[in-house]
Amino acid sequence: MTLQSINPYNGDTITTYQPFSAHQTEIAIQQAESAFKDWRLVPFAERRDRLKKAAEILQANAREYAHLMALEMGKPVQQGRAESEKCAWVCDYYAEHGEMFLQPEEIQTDAQKSYVSYSPLGVILGIMPWNFPFWQVFRFVAPTLMAGNTILLKHASNVSGCALAIEELLEKAGFPPNVFQTLLIPSKDIQHVIADSRIQGVSLTGSTAAGRAVASMAGKHLKKCVLELGGSDAYVVLEDADLEQAAKICVQGRLVNTGQSCIAAKRFIVPEAKLREFEERVVALFSDQRAGDPMDENTTLGPLARLDLREQLHQQVQKSKKLGARLLLGGEIPKGPGAFYPATVLSDVKSGMPAYEEELFGPVAAIIPAFHETMALELANDSVFGLGAAVLTADPEKGERIARDELQAGCCFVNAFVRSDPRLPFGGIKESGYGRELSRHGIREFVNAKTVYVSH
């Protein structure tokens, strides 16, 4: 079985890759373990220089990488350039702060000296998705390499070109051979890699189903894992919110990356008295979106990454309609080539509908009316997911209290759409996974927090 990259804009096959044999995978693991023995001893200053060089390459080649992302998964090029620049940011961030985050911490005990040291674990397997084919990798790679680990990447098969481009980029940045390697393997072969005793940890970004499978494999073999899974982020619009601003924030959060984001705004919870006005504003903003060739600078909505994903999304929309949701915009598969799905708005979404219960991975908004604030917060938390959430209000102090004390999610924003930031921990609760990426927390996921106790 070959691995294929298919252009979702026109259906053309870009490249076909021959998957690794078991022998090739064995050699890659062996090389990663061997490289770790030297890389773990490389001074922080040298690791910092390599990351800074990687950031320079990402900045200098942002257009080239955006072009590749557009080809392989349909991301509009202006968003692809922004993604490349964000990857440069995370490299610079850990280059500047990684050593400080991993400094030994002295703790006063009855010992002559006692402290916690942070040392790398070894070979870490990263299993990454297609929707942010550079950013998902670099937010894992930058802290993991800075900590002194080596990496094997199993990227989504449809973005194998991006995976190989990242490998080449890191080589150009001066990282030693085999510190980072791409595994061109199908998903069915992942279990054998996780089971290998030389693999010390696993980081997965993907669906909840994938998270269950990987967590089960990692647990069986007692491997540390970090899981960043699906989400159905609720945006709670309070009675006092400026509806024009609230609608803009909700739409911006929903349509980034053509709605193919785990932290996209997916459920808009609105006071029933303001439902019609909010619907009108959202429909107007959705109608302004321009779908088309992701290579076109004016395109704001590209195609979905694959035809099967479009079909799944359409079925979720159709089933929600049959169960009583009102279709305000879109909802029909367009004629012609490409995996396009129109900007779609559903309202009167209720419990039991796919638009309420499931993650809709595409440009579909679900509007949910609430009769009072308590009900709105109950609706926001009535989800198996807990990745991100937002509250929109004219009272920032009240919004902060709700974000801090009421919303059940790993990332809660006030008067802004949910996004990741290298300076802040990122991750979820419930079926959105566990563990954290980014910030001080992220770099400490794949290290040994070792107690050192020195007596007289």
Catalytic (active-site) positions: 228, 262
Q: How many other C-beta atoms are found inside a 10 Å radius of the C-beta of residue 196?
A: 18
Distance of alpha carbon 379 from alpha carbon 204, whole angstroms: 28
Q: How many other C-beta atoms are found inside a 10 Å radius of the C-beta of residue 266?
A: 30
Please give the full DSSP string across 180-208, using - where no structure is assigned.
Answer: EEE----GGGHHHHHHSTTEEEEEEES-H
Please return the burial class of 295, using the count of CB atoms within 10 Å of its CB with bins 0-12, 13-18 and 19+.
middle
Query: Which pairing describes strands 105-106 and 113-120: parallel, antiparallel, or unpaired?
Result: antiparallel
Structure tokens at 105: 């911490």
Angle between the 62-73 and 44-60 helix axes, to the nearest 10 degrees? 70
Which element (helix H / strand E) includes 57?
helix 44-60
Give me the numbers of helices (H) and strands (E) for the chain, helices first please. 15, 20
Structure tokens at 259: 């709605």
Structure tokens at 37: 């023995």
- In angstroms, the Cα distances linking 404 to 370, 408, 413 are 21, 9, 9
Please give the full DSSP string across 23-85, using - where no structure is assigned.
Answer: HHHHHHHHHHHHHHHHHTTS-HHHHHHHHHHHHHHHHHTHHHHHHHHHHHH---HHHHHHHHH
Distance of alpha carbon 86 from alpha carbon 138, whole angstroms: 9
Q: Are 303 and 3 in contact (CB under 8 A)?
A: no
**Dihedral sign for Cα atoms in the order 77, 78, 81, 87:** negative
Reduced to 3 states (helix: H, G, I; strand: E, B; else coil), residue 117 is strand
Which element (helix H / strand E) includes 143?
helix 135-146
